[in-house]
């Protein structure tokens, strides 16, 4: 059963509660280049990213945020939720650029790099107060690559065991959420994440977070951080996220992939859609069942048909029906029985024709 989290509204998108698991992604353009960033935001949104995050890492990028919004609105993307990703100097940028703070629909901060000692609490308070003033939700996104070193040392001295990094990550994220609430940020304005780059550790981290949140859980963002590139990145993320989602953990997901060979940024959005559709958590397009083909079929013809069906489905906005394309009579009729539309080829040495099934 899905964890009962509050609904967090980000512009007109809702995540948490009973809302569908939301897909999100992040641009990799220089945010200071408002035109390029707005263009990529649109590409990601059009591909299915319901939330789009941009890095706000310096004054030029903070200054560009209202301009990005202007371009998005002018192009008809008034609903596209824009999230600002802050590290180290978020408190300074949000204070110095009030239009940036006002324009963004959500802030993402990392409790591990807001500052140290007394300045950590002051900087954190500054960000939370700005979020409250502008009525913005905040993701408190812990990452074991940037752990709160003071807390890590303290916990290590107290209890040096192998899970100490996970415990520190969870404690630092939860302590920050509680502090944010103490400062006045509403429970339904907070999203949490505890990202690590190892599949097993990620599962442990989220399970511990869920246990520690107890009866009043926060909305959760899932993602395997620094997942890698290509197939490896997609498979690792999918495995980790699928296990958590199956346990009812997670309200929004991101699959981060290091792009290679001009791979389009939208690949991570496509991967999220396939993941959610495979788990039957959401349906975006027809589901295509096709066998791998083997020595029993005319593989050249079979692969051509599968390619054409995939191409057709990808290019057209179709009802989310079930389609089967099968190589021969071994499993063809059986799979066709489950599908809305199906075809299967005969055996390799039989006359080339295909049985087509409707419903
Ligand atoms: S359905 Fe036929 S062609 Fe496809 S994998 Fe099975 S036996 Fe081979």
Gap from CA of 2 to ligand 1 centroid (Å): 37
- Can you tell me whether residue 176 is helix, strand or coil? helix
CB of 328 closer than 6 angstroms to any ligand 1 atom = yes
Between the CA of 243 and the centroid of ligand 1 the distance, in Å, is 30
Ligand 1 proximity of 318 Cβ (cutoff 6 Å): no
Q: Give me the average pLDDT of each 10-residue run along the chain (359 residues).
A: 96 97 97 98 97 98 98 98 96 97 97 80 94 98 78 73 83 94 98 94 96 96 90 94 98 94 93 96 94 93 95 91 94 92 88 86
Kindly give the number of the ligand 1 atom that is closest to the alpha carbon of 335. Answer: 1
Beta carbon of 214 within 6 Å of any ligand 1 atom: no
Query: Which atom, in ligand 1's list, is nearest to the CA of 291?
Result: 4
CATH class of the domain defined by 8-278: alpha beta
Q: State the CATH class of domain 287-358.
A: alpha beta
Q: pLDDT value at position 162? A: 61
Q: Tell me the whole-structure pTM to 2 decimals.
A: 0.92
Q: What pLDDT does residue 219 have? A: 98
Looking at the chain, the domain(s) classified CATH 3.20.20.20 span 8-278
Decide: 296 in ligand 1 pocket, CB within 6 A: yes
Q: Tokens 């789009």, residue?
A: 52
Instruction: Write down the pLDDT at residue 161.
Output: 65
Please answer whether residues 103 and 62 qualify as being in contact, where contact means their C-beta atoms are separated by less than 8 angstroms.
no
Query: What pLDDT, on the 0 to 100 scale, is given for residue 137?
Result: 98
Q: Which atom of ligand 1 approaches the CA of 332 most closely?
A: 1
Give the pLDDT score at 352. 74
CB-ligand 1 contact for 291 (6 Å cutoff) = yes
Intervals of CATH 3.30.413.10 along the chain: 287-358
CA of 334 to the centre of ligand 1 (A): 11
298 C-alpha to ligand 1 centroid (Å): 10
């Amino acid at each position: 059963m899905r964890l009962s989290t509050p609904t967090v509204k980000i512009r007109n998108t809702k995540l948490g509660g009973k809302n569908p698991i939301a897909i999100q992604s992040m641009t990799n353009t220089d945010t200071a280049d408002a035109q390029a960033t707005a263009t990529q935001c649109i590409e990601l949104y059009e591909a299915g990213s319901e939330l789009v995050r941009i890095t706000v890492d310096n004054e030029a990028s903070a200054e560009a945020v209202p301009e990005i919004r202007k371009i998005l609105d002018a192009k008809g993307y008034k609903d596209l939720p824009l999230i600002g990703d802050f590290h180290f100097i978020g408190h300074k940028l949000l204070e110095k650029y009030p239009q940036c703070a006002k324009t963004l629909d959500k802030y993402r901060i990392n409790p591990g790099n807001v500052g140290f000692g007394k300045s950590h609490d002051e900087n954190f308070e500054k960000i939370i107060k700005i979020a409250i003033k502008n009525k913005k939700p905040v993701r408190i996104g812990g990452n074991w690559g940037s752990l709160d070193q003071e807390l890590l040392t303290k916990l290590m001295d107290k209890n040096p065991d192998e899970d100490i990094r996970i415990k520190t990550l969870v404690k630092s994220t939860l302590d920050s959420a509680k502090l944010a609430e103490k400062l006045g940020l509403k429970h339904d304005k907070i999203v949490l994440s505890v990202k690590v780059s190892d599949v097993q550790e990620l599962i442990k981290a989220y399970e511990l977070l869920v246990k520690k949140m107890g009866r009043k859980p926060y909305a959760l963002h899932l993602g395997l951080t620094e997942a890698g590139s290509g197939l490896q990145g997609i498979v690792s993320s999918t495995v980790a996220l699928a296990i958590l989602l199956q346990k009812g953990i997670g309200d929004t997901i991101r699959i981060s992939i290091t792009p290679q060979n001009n791979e389009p940024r939208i690949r991570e959005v496509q991967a999220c859609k396939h993941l959610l559709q495979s788990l039957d958590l959401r349906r975006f397009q027809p589901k295509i069942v096709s066998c791998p083909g083997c020595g029993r079929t005319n593989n050249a013809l079979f692969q051509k048909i599968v390619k054409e069906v995939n191409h057709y489905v990808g290019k057209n906005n179709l009802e989310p029906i079930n389609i089967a394309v099968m190589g021969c009579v071994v499993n063809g009729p059986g799979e066709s029985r489950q599908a809305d539309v199906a075809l299967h080829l005969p055996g390799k040495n039989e006359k080339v024709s295909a049985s087509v099934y409707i419903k």
